[in-house]
Amino acid sequence: MNGNLQLQHFILNEQKKFPYAKGDFTLLILDIALAGKIISSEVNKAGLIEILGLTGKENIQGEQVQKLDEFSNSTLVNILSRNETVGGCASEEMADAVLFEKHTKAKYCVIFDPLDGSSNIDVNVSIGTIFSIYKLSNEGECSEKDFLKKGEEQVAAGYIIYGSSTMLVLTTGEGVHGFTLDPSLGEFLLSHPDIKYPEPPKRYYSVNEGNFKYWDKNVKKYVDHLKNNEKPFSLRYIGSLVSDFHRNLIYGGIFFYPLDYKNPEKPKGKLRLMYEANPLALISKNAGGLASDGKNDILSLKPEELHQRVPLYIGAKSFVEEALAFLNSEEK
């Protein structure tokens, strides 16, 4: 076996740096990693088993639920429901949080997007799981309030990307670390210690330009700037947030999903604050990047409801700051 450190050894070795990596926190991370291994195995044989396609059901977002969405969600809920340190969990695929009342010594709750990039499942494009971990306000008494904390209160966040390899990217307060699954061992091995956005970052931008006509004028000016400057950017858009985010983290770049005025009376963002924007914003910040809703730091937003949506600008700090300058310019 090569010399890479296994996930459990890395966390235990780094115990002093991970304020929450006491035994039970380490086991929680390992449970999420186990769910990732199970989901990865299904994703990697999708097409051979009856797991592609739609369930015929709609989720709370009014979106079609894919079989793999449902499988990923139930895998995470089942595994977390057996971990007594978890007081409850919430998911893109469930209207309300699930509380594990019997876990009277619980210390954490977990919020997740069980499968991000669902529209790409049936066409074999990378997808992922995104998760966020908070400490309960009162140990052993998990309540709905625990699922509406600001992103800056996360004790850990990460994602598992099911791509050319399966990789767990994790931050628990200090640094961002990548662990690649060795399927022959069934172990996540440290492959990307201390990930930071590269300096200078590659000039990639990731946005669905098909929505151009629904954006406000400053966003249009920003995108025109990206394409008409002395060093043009390259457009890379996969349509799985976790994959677009990961490429920009490793190479550099900016991902954005602007406020869109499809409904002029009620402009809104598409991405969800609690299980897409917040966890990725913590990773981005701890890798030297920045995440904003176009005005405020994502991590500072006080959530009103579990499935609320936000505009999202996330990636290399200098690129996000340039975007914000365009977005907030008063020029008429």
Cβ closest to ligand AHG, residue 189 vs residue 320: 320
Structure tokens at 142: 């998990």
Site track for ligand AHG across 242-281, x = CB under 6 A: ----------------------------x-----------
Our finding on whether 260 is near Mn ion (CB under 5 A) is no
At a CB cut-off of 8 Å and minimum separation 6, what does 256 contact? 205, 206, 207, 311, 312, 313, 314, 323
Structure tokens at 45: 């044989």
Stretch that binds ligand AHG, among 94-102, 109-117, 278-286, 295-303 (CB under 6 A): 109-117
Cβ closest to ligand AHG, residue 166 vs residue 240: 240
Structure tokens at 10: 């890395």
Q: How far is the CB of 6 from ligand AHG (least distance, A)?
A: 29
d(CA 234, CA 96): 40
Stretch that binds ligand AHG, among 17-25, 36-44, 111-119, 228-236 (CB under 6 A): 111-119
Among 15, 44, 208, 296, binds ligand AHG (CB under 6 A): 208
At a CB cut-off of 8 Å and minimum separation 6, what does 71 contact? 39, 42, 51
Cβ closest to ligand AHG, residue 187 vs residue 260: 260
Q: How far is the CB of 244 from Mn ion (least distance, A)?
A: 11
Stretch that binds ligand AHG, among 80-88, 193-201, 212-220, 236-244 (CB under 6 A): 236-244
Structure tokens at 271: 């991405």
Sign of CA dihedral 213, 219, 220, 224: negative
d(CA 174, CA 236): 29
Q: Residue 268: phi, psi to the nearest 5? A: -150, 165
d(CA 222, CA 304): 29
Stretch that binds Mn ion, among 52-60, 74-82, 114-122, 259-267 (CB under 5 A): 114-122
Binding site for ligand AHG (CB under 6 A): 63, 92, 113, 116-119, 208, 239-241, 270
